[in-house]
Each structure stands twice: as structure tokens, then as C-alpha cells.
Amino acid sequence: MLPQCMMGLKLLLLLASLLGVLDVSLAAAGGHLGGSMPGSPYNISRKDRGLQRVILTASYSFNNKSNDAFLFKSSKIHRAQRQIVKGIRYNVDFEISRTVCRKRDHNNNLSNCNFQPEGRLHQVSETFQCHLEVWVIPWKNETKTLVFVCT
């Protein structure tokens, strides 16, 4: 009976070891098991595809509400978090800056718009600090902007 007990103990130790490796791997990959509670916000990569879509949508919204002759796009992301709560909630602090693309040209692809160079049109109000909170509910194909403030 002792050999069966030893085999069970070895199996238990192996499982515990594997779970520890899994937990470390998830944390290194940006998972939220590395110490935070399920449902709490966690930092994500600035290159996250969902984050990029949310920021691009916010840029289009900013441009639609702005009276500026030029289009704006995201220039820097200071903080990006995701929270899984009946969908995906993004909390983002970023900068949005003036580009060389004019609104009247109806350019719909901001990736083709470079930022304003130093010079006559380079002004203090060229860059805004923005805070964005968006809730994406994929199964309903819904996106709700909860907060979008730029100063």
C-alpha cells in the first residue's frame, strides 16, 4: 500500500509544479492570474488589437466633434488596462495629436496621416491628454463609450 501512496504523492507534486509553471506563464503573457482577482483590471500591451480598435474609434469620434481643420490620431499610450466584466472594459490614458491630414480631404485612413512637424502649425493645443473607458460586448456586437475626456 505504501508504493501507491508514494505514486499519488509524486503525481500531486507533479500537478502542483505544472500549475505553478502555468500560473507564471500566464502572468508573463499578460494574463491576470499573476496575483490579481478575477474581474479586476489588469495592464495590457499597447499593441493589443482590441485596444488599437478602441483607440482608433475614439480618434474618429474626437475628429467628428473637433472644429480643427486637421485630423488627430493617437500619438502615445500612457496606460492601458482591460477588465473582463460581462464583456471587455478598456481603461486607457493616451495622447491624441494633430496630423498633417486635413478634414476637407476626407481621408478615412489615419495610418496614412503623419503628425504635424515643428513649425508654424505646431501649437501648444496640438496634443491633448485623453482618458477613455469603453465597454465592448462582443456577443451583442455592442461597444459603449462610458467616458471619453480630453484636456
Higher pLDDT, 14 or 127: 127
C-alpha cell at 87: 464583456
The answer on pLDDT for 148 being more than 50 is yes
**pLDDT confidence bin for 28, thresholds 50/70/90:** very low
Strands 142-150 and 127-137: antiparallel
Distance in angstroms between the alpha carbons of the first and the last residue of the chain: 72
**pLDDT confidence bin for 23, thresholds 50/70/90:** very low
The residue type of 77 is I
The answer on pLDDT for 17 being more than 60 is no
The answer on pLDDT for 138 being more than 90 is yes
pLDDT for the residue numbered 97: 96
Question: Considering the entire predicted model, what is its pTM?
Answer: 0.71
Taking residues 71-80, what's their average pLDDT?
A: 97
Cα–Cα distance measured from residue 151 to residue 135, given in angstroms and rounded to the nearest whole number: 22
Cα–Cα distance measured from residue 116 to residue 104, given in angstroms and rounded to the nearest whole number: 16
The answer on pLDDT for 27 being more than 90 is no
C-alpha cell at 150: 480630453
